[in-house]
Amino acid sequence: MLPLGMEKVVGKITIGAIGINLIAAALLAPSLGHIGMAWAILIAETCKVIALTIVLLRQGLSPIGALYETTPQVAEF
C-alpha cells in the first residue's frame, strides 16, 4: 500500500491497532500474563489486517489477486 501512496491510511490503521493492543493488554495481561500479551498482539494485528483489507477492497484492489497478477521473470539465453 505504501507504493500506492496510501501512507496516511496505513499510519492511521497502525495507530488504531496500537490503541487496540494497549486496551487488550490492559485487560488480558494482569490475569493471563505473557499469554494475555500474546493474545493482545494477535487481536490487534488481526484487526489491522481486516482494516487494511477493507481499505484495499474499497479502492478496487485485491490483496490476494496481486499474488497471481505478476508474470514470472524468465531468463533468456
Q: What is the mean pLDDT of residues 2-22?
A: 93
Amino acid 51: pLDDT: 96
Q: What is the mean pLDDT of residues 51-76?
A: 74
Domain regions of the chain by residue span = 7-69
Amino acid 21: pLDDT: 97
Q: What is the mean pLDDT of residues 31-37?
A: 96
- Beta-strand runs (E) in 1-77: none
CB contact set of 36 (below 8 Å; sequence gap of 6+): 25, 27, 28, 29, 30
Q: What is the mean pLDDT of residues 26-54?
A: 96
Amino acid at 22: L
Quickly state the pLDDT bin for 64 (edges 50, 70, 90).
confident
